[in-house]
Amino acid sequence: MSPLNDKIKKLDGKVPAGPIGERWSTHKFNLKIVNAANKRKYSVIIVGTGLAGGSAAASLAELGYNVTTFCIQDSPRRAHSIAAQGGINAAKNYTNDGDSVYRLFYDTVKGGDYRARESNVHRLAEVANNIIDQCVAQGVPFAREYGGTLSNRSFGGAQVSRTFYARGQTGQQLLLGAYSAMMKEVHNGKIKSYTRREMVELVIVDGKARGVIMRNLSTGAFEKHTADAVLLATGGYGNVYFLSTNAKASNASAAFRAYKKGAYFGNPCFTQIHPTCIPVSGDHQSKLTLMSESLRNDGRVWVPKVKGDKRNPTEIPEAERDYYLERIYPSFGNLVPRDVASRNAKLVCDEGRGVSQTGMAVYLDFADAIKRDGEDKIRAKYGNLFDMYERITDQNPYKTPMMIYPAIHYTMGGLWVDYNLMSNIPGLFVLGEANFSDHGANRLGASALMQGLADGYFVIPYTIGDYFATNKFDKIDLAHPEFEKSLTDSKEKYQKLLAINGKKTVDEFHRALGKIMWDHVGMARNEKGLISAISTIQELKKEFWSNVKVTGTDVDVNTELEKAGRVADFLELGELMALDALERKESCGGHFREESQTPENEAMRNDEEFCHVAAWEYQGLDQKPLRHIEELKFEFVKLTQRSYK
Amino acid sequence: MSGNSAHNMSLKLKIWRQKNSKDEGKMVDYTLDGVSPDMSFLEMMDTLNTKLVKEQGDSIAFDHDCREGICGMCSMMINGQAHGPEALTTTCQLHMRKFKNGDTIVIEPWRAKAFPVVKDLMVNRGAFDEIMAAGGYVNVNTGNAVDANAILIGQENAELAMDAAACIGCGACVASCKNASAMLFVSAKISQLALLPQGQVEAESRAIAMVEKMDELGFGNCTNEAECEAQCPKGIKLENIARMNRAVTKGLFSGR
């Protein structure tokens, strides 16, 4: 035992006890309430206005709190939640196919490979039904049947049809619903919405989160804002990898700077790689585009049987093709979960059987489906996706198989929060993808939208009241020394970036980091690779701070400076992710350690040693952070090995 | 990928540069070599920016985010057309294979009084948020909803509402219109909600409030040129404007 060990904490998730179905109701009853007339005395800052932040802003403002929101885009309507295609889950059981809140709970715990809190997941499954009701009431145009009822489909390998959708634009429609509710409260004077702002610092006064320093991206000015609570709803950190399906401005800075102020970072190594993305076409590639998972319902995944087969796919006879998912997983076939499909694509490409000029792609072939159903039927189902594919690749997927490859898509890890969505810093709440809580080691399809809206519409409005009712808040002046200090620190950081004037652009560093992460902290990880990743990232970080080239000034818009600030954080976060992956010596969900696999090459958990959340505490620059632990108990869903054979 | 990726292109670019909202601004010429036909238009801009930074210059500011055609952030007039020459395509989804080696491409920001330039190709579309705040919602608070299937909506209306809801709020309609009218954007939201029973209660007052706000913010009037429809990357239809006008007229007559 090292002397450090007495600093390691066992974290309390503040999970209520009792029957799983009653925990949330009991907890809600036990939460203290702020009297209706007193709510106007409290103020809340919300950073990020996607599904989680937007829905929280609207709901808290409706209750009477004074809300200030910040978003990085030029309008709250553009948050990256907008890009979600597939749908949103809820256990309405409208299709009479045996769904229930308990089944949605069960599937989510199992799908997350037993690394999420049972109580959180059950609450998520419970409130999911309210989300659908709320969205319909707002005018979200979900798909309908002829009789006027809502349409459902099966998604992401679920055995029941529980996914609600609005064409291939569900995220857009749900976000516009939350955004319109937000705008309603802007109209009512309860929300003040700031756009083109980036959080550069969290301000803590007397141990409580009491404000933020924002940078106005239009003018370069730093601004101080104070409140009684701060909510981060700033999304995930997939852009550590440079190439991901995330939007270009998606970044980890708000969460990471909170981490550096003492908030714990939970399970940073839990990342999700989506199997069906359009492959990289060249060095100019700036981001990756997702093709909806629904394509795997009709497309067949294959590669040539022999390596280096450069023939046109249509010239490769049936007998010389390897439909590897159907071969290895006869019962789930092409519909295995995302992590399994992704890993197998990597394996066949590593064997040299990948296709395209880069060898980093596999075929997704619709020829059989077109033969069976006719081109018209396939066009009706996937027309917009096929068009998008053709626009990007200049190839016609009706005539030649699509080429796909996995890409970073979502991060299950994030800031550690308790059952009330509060981090270990009192008054700092974290919602949506930015927190670590509900998806364990692997998120199921159509669950991200559900969690973002659950947190914002139906969890935080209850839990924040308890925090206000049980704490005292002194009035804080913006001239408070903590605000001044945070402001000076932020300014200095950006000045420093401008002063380096080295030789390599920010993007060059970002791409280099992305490559290290993808190679060693990607779909398959091992001890040697992770150790080497940590030291290469450390070197890259040093080089960044001495050789990055940021042109322009700190007044007016300077997109290079914005990117530099974010990449500085990505470099440190990348190292933390590698460290977390190294210390978690087991495979679970999207975290695949090559040393821990079953004889059939499936992820093998180590529940004896790792049935817990790792929550990292910052210890200072270049110091190894502390790894705290929150034990996970599975009282309702038995710990079993996942199998999709 | 596309077979011709080996044939890199050289381009002449004429780009609007403007330091900030107070600066006068001017067109500046650039040349860019090594443009792959597989690049997206924005990746071509990234390549130009890398070159500028390496040469110690200030990079060109332009709005972009999802690069999948859904966030509505990207916004460039390319050779005089909003989002460039390809129909139903945002700038981020436009690819360089639509251009030829040696082409001159003129790139400007959205031009409208209500969309002031922030820097270079970046404009402030905050006016759209203001119009939305004037009434672009159903007045329903969280927790007030009945069971989702208690509200039946015929498939046809649901589809029409979705057609209107597909608007990404990019502002191409305003930028394409010689009057800088925001009618297509405003009417898309009014139509979406008016087509659904949830939006019926406030259909007329909503339409009036949003239209009044639109006028107040300095957007022009509609003179039925239909350029907005032709340039809209999401295929929003002119019929929406008719629906909006109907709602406004009805509201004005009934004194709401």
Q: Provide the residue-wise pLDDT of chain B in tens; the chain has 256 residues.
A: 444 445 799 999 999 999 999 999 999 999 999 999 999 999 999 999 999 999 999 999 999 999 999 999 999 999 999 999 999 999 999 999 999 999 999 999 999 999 999 999 999 999 999 999 999 999 999 998 999 999 999 999 999 999 999 999 999 999 999 999 999 999 999 999 999 999 999 999 999 999 999 999 999 999 999 999 999 999 999 999 999 999 999 999 987 5
Chain B residue with CA closest to A183: the answer is: B133
pTM above 0.95, yes or no: yes
Tell me what ipTM this predicted complex has.
0.97
The overall average pLDDT reported for chain A is 95
Give me the pLDDT at residue A4, please.
57
CA distance B9 to chain A (A): 14
SS3 state at B220: strand
DSSP label at A200?
A: E
Strands A229-232 and A265-266, sheet pairing: unpaired
Instruction: Report pLDDT for A293.
Output: 84
Quote the minimal CA–CA distance from B189 to chain A in Å: 10
Share of chain A above pLDDT 90, in %: 91
Q: How many CA atoms lie within 13 A of B123 on its CB side?
A: 23
Interface test with B, best of A133, A219, A566 (most B CBs within 10 A): A133
Its CATH class, for the domain covering B126-253, is mainly alpha
- Tell me the C-alpha distance between B145 and B140, whole Å: 8
Identify the residue whose tokens are 């209706």. A36
Q: Map residue A223 onto helix, strand or coil.
A: strand
A388 contacts chain B (CB < 8 A): yes
Determine the Cα–Cα distance for residues A341 and A352; give it in Å rounded to an integer. Answer: 17
Distance CA B170, CA B185 (A): 9
B223 touches chain A (CB under 8 A): no
A75 closest CB neighbour out of B36, B64, B128: B128
Residues 6+ apart with CB under 8 A from B144: A137
| pLDDT band at A404; cut points 50, 70, 90 | very high
If one counts every other C-beta atom within 10 angstroms of the C-beta of residue A489, the result is 13
Q: Tell me, yes or no, if A475 comes closer than 8 A to chain B by beta carbon.
A: no
pLDDT digits (tens, 9 = 90+) for A19-28: 999 999 999 9
Tens digits of per-residue pLDDT, A309-349? Answer: 999 999 999 999 999 999 999 988 998 888 889 999 999 99
CA A35 and chain centroid, separation = 35
Listed in sequence order, the DSSP H helices in A286-439 are: 324-328, 338-350, 367-373, 375-393
CA distances to A432, B91, B106, B116 from B83, rounded to whole Å, are 32, 5, 12, 18
What pLDDT, in 10s, does the model give residues A568-582? 999 999 999 999 999
Integer Cα distance of A545 and A565 in angstroms: 11
d(CA B21, CA A317): 61
Domain(s) of CATH 3.10.20.30: residues in chain B: 9-119
- Distance (Å) from the alpha carbon of B154 to chain A's nearest alpha carbon: 4
> A144–B154: do the CB atoms touch at under 8 Å?
yes
Tell me if B129 and A58 make a contact (CB, 8 A cut-off): no
Percentage of chain A surpassing pLDDT 70? 99
Q: A447-469: string of b/e by CB count within 10 Å (b at 16+)?
A: bbbbbbbbbbbbbbbbbbbbbbe
CB-CB contact of B104 with B11 (8 Å): yes
Beta carbons within 8 Å of A350's beta carbon, 6+ residues apart: none
Q: Which residue of A has its CA nearest to B44?
A: A284
Residues of A designated catalytic: 338
A247-264 burial by CB neighbour count: b if 16+ within 10 A, else e? bbbbbbbbbbbbbbbbbb
Any A CB within 8 A of B146 CB:
yes
Closest chain B residue to A277, measured at CA: B68
Residues of A in Cβ contact (< 8 Å) with B129: 75-77, 183, 186, 193, 195
Closest CA to A433 of A73, A83, A180: A83
Query: A82 touching B, CB under 8 A?
Result: yes
Phi and psi at B218, nearest 5°, equal 95, 15
Instruction: For residues A24 and A626, give the distance between their C-alpha atoms in angstroms, rounded to a whole number.
Output: 31
Q: For residue B67, which residues of chain A lie inside 8 Å, CB to CB?
A: 247-248, 286-287, 289
The two structure tokens encoding residue A603: 């992820």
Q: Map tokens 């914002």 to a residue.
A: A456
CB-based contacts of B47, cutoff 8 Å, min separation 6: A284, B32, B34, B35, B39
The three-state secondary structure class of B59 is coil
Residue A643 CA: distances (Å) to CA of A113, A167, A178, A280, B42: 11, 31, 38, 31, 43
- CB distance from A191 to chain B under 8 Å? no
Judge: domain A275-409, CATH 3.90.700.10. yes
- By C-alpha distance, the chain B residue nearest A193 is B129
- Burial of A374 (C-beta count, 10 Å sphere; 0-12/13-18/19+): exposed
For chain A positions 540-599, those within 8 Å of chain B (CB to CB) are 549, 551-552, 556-560
Burial class from Cβ neighbours inside 10 Å (0-12, 13-18, 19+) for residue A24 reads buried
CB A508 within 8 A of CB A515: no
Ranges of H-type helices in chain B: 41-54, 126-135, 155-165, 172-176, 183-194, 197-200, 203-216, 227-231, 239-253
Please indicate whether, in this complex, the C-beta atoms of A137 and B154 are within 8 angstroms of each other: no
Q: Where are the beta strands (DSSP E) in A238-281?
A: 265-266, 271-277
Taking the CA of residue B108 as centre, how many other CA atoms within 13 Å lie in the half-sphere pointing to its CB?
Answer: 16
Q: Which amino acid does the sequence have at A354?
A: G
Separation between Cα atoms, residue A617 and residue B158, nearest integer Å: 49
Which residue from A74, A141, A149 is facing B125, i.e. has the nearest CB? A74
Which residues from chain A sit within 8 angstroms of residue B138, using beta carbons?
Answer: 137-139, 180
B43: nearest CB among A55, A286, A505: A286
Contact B140 A193 (CB under 8 A): no
Cα distances from A545 to residues A203, A393, A490, B49, B50, in angstroms, run: 25, 37, 16, 21, 19
Between residues 182 and 201 of chain B, which touch chain A (CB distance below 8 Å)?
A: 192-193, 196, 198-199
Domain with CATH 1.10.1060 in chain B: 126-253
Q: Give the torsion sign (CA, B120, B121, B122, B124).
A: positive
Range A478-501 average pLDDT: 97
DSSP at A457: I
Per-residue model confidence (pLDDT) at position B6: 56
Task: State whether the Cα torsion A471-A476-A480-A486 is positive or negative.
Answer: positive
What residues contact A554, with CB distance under 8 A and at least 6 apart? A220, A494, A495, A498, A561
Q: What is the location of CATH 1.20.58.100 in chain A?
A: 481-605
How far apart, in whole angstroms, are the C-alpha atoms of residue A429 and residue A418?
Answer: 9
When CB atoms are compared, the residue of B53, B143, B169 closest to A75 is B169
Mean pLDDT, range A364-382, rounded to an integer: 93
Using CA coordinates, name the residue in chain A closest to B144: A134
Identify the H or E element spanning A576: helix A559-583
Tokens of B50: 């890398």
Residues forming CATH 3.90.700.10 domain(s) in chain A = 275-409
Closest-CA distance, A1 to chain B, in angstroms, reads 48
- The span from the CA of A158 to the CA of A446, in Å, is 10
Structure tokens at A26: 């009991």
Beta carbons within 8 Å of A159's beta carbon, 6+ residues apart: none
pLDDT score at B34: 96
Query: Mind listing the pLDDT tens digit for each residue in A256-304?
Result: 999 999 999 999 999 999 999 999 988 999 999 999 888 998 999 999 9
Provide, as residue numbers in chain A, all residues whose Cβ is less than 8 Å from the Cβ of B109: none
Q: Smallest Cβ distance to A394: which of B19, B97, B133? A: B97
Beta bridge partners of B27: B16
CATH of domain A481-605: 1.20.58.100
b/e string for A147-185 if b means 16 or more Cβ within 10 A? eebbbbbbbbbbebbbbbbbbbbbbbbbbbbbbbbbbbb
**Residue of A642, A493, A505, A519 lying closest to A578 (CA atoms):** A519
> What's the half-sphere exposure (Cβ side, CA atoms, 13 Å) at A472?
2
* Chain A residues whose beta carbon lies within 8 Å of the beta carbon of residue B143: 130, 134
- Dihedral, CA atoms, B39, B43, B47, B52, nearest 10 degrees? 150
Backbone angles phi and psi of B32, in degrees to 5: -135, 125
* Window A:279-338, CB contacts with B under 8 Å: 281-282, 284-287, 289-290
**Fold annotation for B9-119:** Ubiquitin-like (UB roll) (3.10.20)
* Token couple for A379: 């066009």
